[in-house]
Amino acid sequence: MTTTTTAPKPGLLTILSSPALDKDLKRIADKVLNRERLTQEDGIMLFEKGEIGYLGALANYVRERLHGNKTYFNRNFHIEPTNVCVFTCKFCSYSRLYKNREEGWELSIDEMLDIVKKYDGQPVTEVHIVGGVHPKMNLDFFTELMRRIKAHRPDLHIKGFTPVELDYMFRKAKVSAEEGMRMMKEAGLQSLPGGGAEIFHPDIRVQICHDKVDADGWLNIHRTAHNMGMVTNATMLYGHIEEYWHRVDHMERLRSLQDETHGFNTFIPLKFRNKDNDMAHVPESTIVEDLRMYAIARLYMDNFQHLKAYWPMLGRNSAQLTLSFGVNDLDGTIDDTTKIYSMAGSEEQSPSMNTAQLAMLIKQAGRTPVERDTVYNEVKDYSEVEFTEEELLN
C-alpha cells in the first residue's frame, strides 16, 4: 500500500484533545494515528458512539495519508445482459422471474456487441458486465461474449460477473471454481466487480437473499480469482435490517481475505434503496448515517487501498460529500447504461456524466480529479484542465 505521512489537521487535533471526548473514541483515534489495526469491538464502538464530526475528521486524515487530495474516476460503460433472474433477493427492484421473462430483457451476443461498438473511437477503458442470473445464459454463452468483445476491442478491460452469476454458471457446467475461473480468464475476463456480497452473516442473508451463493461461496470465488492474479472489488449492502455488528462482521471477513491474498482493490458500501422491491417498507438510511458508514469503512478496512462511493446509487450531491469522509473514488462516467439503481429509486434516473462533469464534481469538492484505469494506473490528472461551458452542459 502506498502511504504518505500527513500531520493531523488542527480540526482533528481539537476534537482529539477535547476533554469531553469519550475515552473509547480517544483510544480508537490513537490507534488510527499510530496505524494500529481496529478490532471488531472497536468497529462496533465507532458505529455506536462515533459522531459525524469525529468520524469525518479521522477518516479524512486516513484518506489524505493514503491519497492526498486525489480522487479517482474512470471512463466506463455497463452491459446488463438480462434482468431475468432465478434468484429472489428481497431488496432487488430490477429482476424478473424466468416465468415472467417477457417483462424483462435478454440481450443476444450480437446486441451486446452492438453496445460495445457504440463506443468505437471513444476513450473508454472499461466495460462492466453484470446482470440477473438467466438459466439459459451459461458459461459457453459468456465465454463466447468475452471472446467477441476482445476480438473487436482488445484494449477494453472486461470487469464482470459476480460470484452469484459465476457460482450458478459453474455449477450448471459442472466445473470447479478454479476450472470455471480459468475458462473465464482465458476468454478475456480481467477482474471481478464487488456485487453479490450483500451482508454475509447468515442471520441476515437468509432473510434478504436466501437462495443465492452464501458468504463462503462468495469469498471463495474472489479468493480463486486473486490466486490467478486477478484483482476484484467488494461491496456491502447496508442500511436495511442489519445491525451494526453485522456490518463489522462483513468487513472483518473481507479484511481477513485481503490479508490472505491482497487481491481486492476497492471497497464499495452500497446504500439500500427501497423503491419497488419486497423491502419497500424498510426506511432508507439518512445521509448522516451514510457518511458515518463511509468513514467507518475507511477506518476499519486498513488493508484496502481504495474506498469508492458509487454515485449512480447515492446521487451526485451525496457522493461529493463522501469525499470528506474517507472516499477517494467515484467510479465512472457510466453513460446511462445501468438500471439497477434507477429502478430501486435513486435520484439518478439516467446516470451519465461526461468526463468534464465528473471531474468538475470532484473539483467542486476541493479534490484533484484523476482518471484511472480499472487497476488504478493513472491515466490523466485533470487539476489544470479548464472545461468549456459546452463540455460541462453537454
Q: Which residue type, as a one-letter code, is found at position 331?
A: D
305 binding ligand V47? (CB under 6 A): no
196 binding ligand V47? (CB under 6 A): yes
**Residues between 117 and 146 that touch ligand V47 (CB under 6 A):** none
Residue 50 or 195 having the CB closest to ligand SF4: 195
331 binding ligand V47? (CB under 6 A): yes
| Residue 264: CB minimum distance to ligand SF4, A | 20
- Residues in touch with ligand SF4 (CB under 6 A): 85, 87, 89, 92, 94-95, 132-133, 164, 209, 212
Annotation-wise, does 198 bind a ligand? Answer: yes
Query: On the CB side of 154, how many CA atoms lie within 13 Å of its CA?
Result: 1
How is residue 82 annotated by DSSP?
B
Please name every residue paired with 331 in a beta bridge, in sequence order, or none if there are none.
none
Which of ligand V47, ligand SF4, none sits in contact with 95, Cβ below 5 to 8 A by type?
ligand SF4
322 binding ligand V47? (CB under 6 A): no
Span interacting with ligand V47, options 80-88, 176-184, 191-199, 348-356, rule CB under 6 A: 191-199
Grid cell 473508454 is found at: 124
Q: State which residue has the least CB distance to ligand V47.
A: 195
Report the alpha-carbon distance of residue 152 to residue 155 in Å, rounded.
Answer: 9
b/e code 321-350 from CB counts within 10 Å (16+ = b) = bbbbbbbbbbbbbbbbbbbbbbbbbbbbee
Residue 77 or 341 having the CB closest to ligand SF4: 341
- The pairing of strands 368-372 and 378-381 is antiparallel
Which of ligand SF4, ligand V47, none sits in contact with 77, Cβ below 5 to 8 A by type?
none
263 binding ligand V47? (CB under 6 A): no
| Residue 92: CB minimum distance to ligand SF4, A | 3
For residues 35 and 61, is the Cβ–Cβ distance under 8 A? no
Which of ligand SF4, ligand V47, none sits in contact with 145, Cβ below 5 to 8 A by type?
none
| Residue 393: CB minimum distance to ligand SF4, A | 35
Report the alpha-carbon distance of residue 174 to residue 167 in Å, rounded.
Answer: 10
Report the alpha-carbon distance of residue 104 to residue 102 in Å, rounded.
Answer: 5
Report the alpha-carbon distance of residue 243 to residue 295 in Å, rounded.
Answer: 17
Report the alpha-carbon distance of residue 120 to residue 54 in Å, rounded.
Answer: 47
- The pairing of strands 329-332 and 306-307 is unpaired
E strands of 229-364, at which residues?
A: 231-238, 264-271, 306-307, 329-332
Which of 310, 311, 325, 382: binder of ligand V47 (CB under 6 A)? 310
Which of ligand V47, ligand SF4, none sits in contact with 133, Cβ below 5 to 8 A by type?
ligand SF4
Span interacting with ligand V47, options 46-54, 91-99, 101-109, 255-263, rule CB under 6 A: 91-99
Which of ligand V47, ligand SF4, none sits in contact with 310, Cβ below 5 to 8 A by type?
ligand V47
∠ CA 301-258-211, rounded to 5°: 95
Report the alpha-carbon distance of residue 42 to residue 24 in Å, rounded.
Answer: 8
For residues 251 and 289, is the Cβ–Cβ distance under 8 A? no
Which of 83, 125, 235, 324: binder of ligand V47 (CB under 6 A)? 235
Contact footprint for ligand V47 (CB under 6 A): 91-93, 193-196, 198, 233, 235, 237, 268, 270, 272-273, 277, 310, 313, 331, 340, 344
Binding annotation for S-adenosyl-L-methionine:
91, 198
Binding annotation for [4Fe-4S] cluster:
85, 89, 92
